[in-house]
A and B are shown apart, each in its own frame.
Chain A
Amino acid sequence: MIVPLALLGLVALPIIVAFYMLRLRRRDVPVGSTFLWQQLIRDVEANAPWQRLRFSWLLLVQLLIALIVVIAATRPFVASQTDLAANVVLIVDTSASMATTTGEEDRMALARERARAVVDRLPQGGRITVVATSDTANVLVSETDDRAAALDAIDGITATQRPGDLTDAFALSSALAARDSDSTIVVVTDAAGDDLPDVGVGAPVVVERVGTTDVNQAVAALSALRRAGGAQLDLFVAVANPSEASATRRLEVYADGELVDARELTIPAGERSEAIISTVPAATAVVEARLAGEDALETDDRAFAIVPAEATTRALLVGPGNTYLENALALLPRLELYAVDADGFEDAMTEAEEAGTPYGLVVFDGVVPAETPELPTLFLDPGTDGPFGTVDGRLSGPAIDRTDPNDPILRFVDLSTVHIGRARDLTLADGLRPVVATPAGAPLVAVGDADGQRTAVIGFALAESDLPLQVAFPLLMSNLVDHLLPAAEGILPSSMRLGEAIGVPVEDGVERVRVAMADPDGGPPGEGVELPVIGGTVTIPGADRVGIRTLSTIPADGGDGTVLGETAINLFSPDESDVAPGDATRIVEMGRVVGGAGPAPQPTRTEWWWPLALAALVLLAVEWLLFHRPTRRSLARAIGRRPQPLGGRAR
């Protein structure tokens, strides 16, 4: 018992008995005459302050209540040991793989159960912080000793559709654990393919691993390409099977909600099957690939793609002619490529103007015109100064510095094996930024705005580099063209991952925008959220579910806004699709090892005063009933039998 002093309350028992032995002050009840009563009562103790103790159920119940209340007040407990420290940070994984549900397994429910068990195991006086984490960490309760609040928070945790990333959660836990050396970090997770952060945590880590099943297939990739002039689209679909048994799934393809293709795909264990589908009508705006039937994870059974707009841009390549460059540009479905030499440039521009089919993009290969057209422009190996900046000479054998992999220009582009013989020594104009540079900072590839036009520059001749021979080349060209010619659909990328946030510039005059998620099943879009435009940019938080997301303006007059862009939200996460529970020791090893034997057991106490309190309440009700037990006469009164006065009926 925690409060043995409360046993002093036992003195109440003899006091209660004494009250029963004391002559009570009784309620006066008038009677016509005590003539008969006197003959019944042998009141020999009429004047004594004490009377003989007589058996009374009321006394018995009252003694029992007093006893129970005293015992409950001592806060009795059952002692046990726990492996948890006094300060516990409970991280509950809510990444998409935690939504795994099969007939036998509801992974998130299991996780909540484990998390509740952690709260129950807290040592006496222990504090707990509950963190729900997917790709970001969300602190639900912080360092509380209120177990009910912690349990409430745990009950409210649900799985998200976002990919998992423990970085935030571990950074947070580290900070909390640093404040209290007696800390334990408990991670409730399926450890399914989580890419673990490269951080150490200054506290022991205990992993509650949940989940058993690994049977899941996922749409791993979906891409729609428009062939120039074609009546159908080319759809590229990849279905992954990360489980340990091969599976056959029915793949259905919907064009704007209409089923246009369905086929059985057999995917070997641990591999992926790809299909190119050419039955999607060219007029389609949104394509959905869906795996029919059920598996462990629903989120990755659907994927969406926005079909690029049909319009193509006429591009003019000005230069002596370079096969690699021509091929790379011609392959881009967005471009309709024309080529002239330097002399024919102005005539070509004039003819196109007159024919009503102006060019949208000009590529100058080794040429810098006297007058740069007011169009997006790409310069390769510029010999003289231009809108991109000035040329100060040549660099011989420049090395390529480490590049930023997150730069959209370098998306999928690996320049580590590229060698450059000579390059122009460029000084960039205002508005341009280097994308690839030498270790000394001399720009090799740069993009930006010059004189109000989108401009890019590659500071070396393709012939003086092995870049054209590498896979990186067409990708780099594609990315550069994407930068020069922003997507016709709007300002959003055509596809984004769940949970991925993005900042997009919006045109002047727009103060608020709305981001809404279209119903993937074809219903009207939801209300969405309104976001403010700050400094010409709106930051869109990551989406929570798969589907098509629309960004539109909110006009000041309250009318319908214009759609600024659409993007397809997909999971496309091999880690999350691989729902098989992973190796928990990897996570445990992130924690500090205490004496090589894990965290020391701590004593904990489970109190059981509340059933006693409940019993006391019940007994109190019994006592009330005993005290007010109805007599036959009061019952007769209750049912309304009123006595009639003698002679009353005669009046």
Chain B
Amino acid sequence: MTVSQRAAFFDETFLRRLEQLELASRRLTAGRMKGERRSVRRGQSVEFADYRTYATGDDLRQLDWNAYARLEKLFVKLFVEEEDVTVHILVDASRSMDYGEPNKLDAARRAAAALGYLGLASMDRVSVAFLGDGTATAMRPMRGKRRAAELFSFLAEPRTDRLTGLASAARSYASRMRGTGPLLLISDLMDPGYLDALRDLAGTRCQLSVLHLLAPDEIEPDVPPDARLVDHETGHAVEVSGDDDLVDRYRTRLAEWQGEISAFVARRGGAYVTVASDLDLADLLFDVLRRRRVVE
């Protein structure tokens, strides 16, 4: 896939369909600019939220004079302020992602592009980053559909990262991130530090959604008898002897692992979705993620 091809991820029809969706924000977030989302801050808006006893320094324009007339007490009207949110999309760009048929990284780029466009279309700030080589390569946060081309271009950039260092990359991003909102991590999590990474990202007050992306042959391995399995990322080899039991044990272990991640993310109020790289993108967005309330 060339850069120009990657830049044009989707056609117009698909983009129009995408615009009907919106990234869910289960927690009300505090933003910096007026956006299209309800903020936890009470502010100048048309949507009434509550009353509060006047305190010195409050904006006199906010006093409810009708209440004062009836009760002879000063109350300040509080409004829900609609604020913008920042959508964080993190794509694991390690070598282990550059594997599979279809390629996991390509699938991750497409998913990130679709989800990023969703954010831009909702006038949210969108921050996209690749996690690789122990660091996070992020583009400047952007807003508005006009920036879509820029987003796609960034996502289409070829990556040459070799090692993930998922934990340090996640920590690096978490420490620099600005603004809260949905945080989507698209990764195969095939890294010893995956739990640390998840812990760091969950601790950012963002709403964490993990898209656990696996190639079909990682879900259903086809291992010949007496094979030497060579790690695409590290080059490390593991020798296996072909017996049916081994593949069964792999499946069991994979299920356990996914269960562990799911429980870990759920405890931190996040969403966990398992995605195969051969899954259709429309199915992912309009069906899988919708059911899991990642988008709405």
Binding site for B on A (CB under 8 A): 23-24, 26-41, 43, 46, 54, 627, 631-634, 643-651
Contacts and interface: CB of A to CB of B under 8 A. Distances in A.
B237 A649 contact: no
Contacts of B224: 27, 29
A23 B228 CA distance: 11
Q: Which of A27, A43, A643 has the most CB of B within 10 A?
A: A643
Nearest to B111: A646
B102 A646 contact: yes
B80 interface: no
Contact of A29 (B106, B229, B250, B280): B229
9 contacts: A28-B237, A31-B99, A31-B221, A37-B240, A40-B246, A40-B253, A643-B276, A645-B103, A647-B111
A461 to B, nearest CB: 113
Contact of A632 (B102, B104, B220, B250): B220
Contacts of B58: none
Interface stretch (B46-54, B172-180, B187-195): B187-195
Contacts of A26: 226-228, 239
Given A30-B230, A631-B222, A645-B102, 8 more contacts: A29-B228, A29-B229, A32-B99, A32-B233, A36-B190, A633-B222, A643-B278, A645-B107
B253 A28 contact: no
Given A40-B249, A643-B101, A32 B226 contact: no
Nearest to A29: B227
A34 B281 CA distance: 27
B246 A643 contact: no
A650 B221 CA distance: 27
B10 interface: yes
A26 B227 CA distance: 5
Interface of B: 9-11, 14, 96-97, 99-104, 106-107, 110-111, 114, 188, 190-192, 215-218, 220-234, 236-241, 246-247, 249-250, 253-254, 257, 275-282, 284
Which A-B residue pairs are the 5 nearest by beta carbons?
A647-B281, A643-B278, A645-B102, A646-B107, A33-B190
Contacts of A41: 238-240
Given A26-B228, A32-B232, A34-B237, A646 B222 contact: no
A40 B218 contact: no
A40 B243 CA distance: 13
Contacts, number: 148
Nearest to B164: A33
B107 A651 contact: no
Contacts of B240: 37, 40-41
Contacts of B100: 32
B229 A31 contact: yes
A634 B225 CA distance: 13
B122 to A, nearest CB: 20
Contact of A37 (B9, B250, B281): B250
Contacts of B114: 647
Contacts of B11: 650-651
Contacts of A649: 280-282
Contacts of A631: 222-223, 247
A650 B10 contact: yes
Contacts of A647: 9-10, 107, 110-111, 114, 280-282
B282 A650 contact: yes
Q: Which of B111, B275, B277 has the most CB of A within 10 A?
A: B277
Nearest to B228: A26
B99 to A, nearest CB: 4
A178 to B, nearest CB: 67
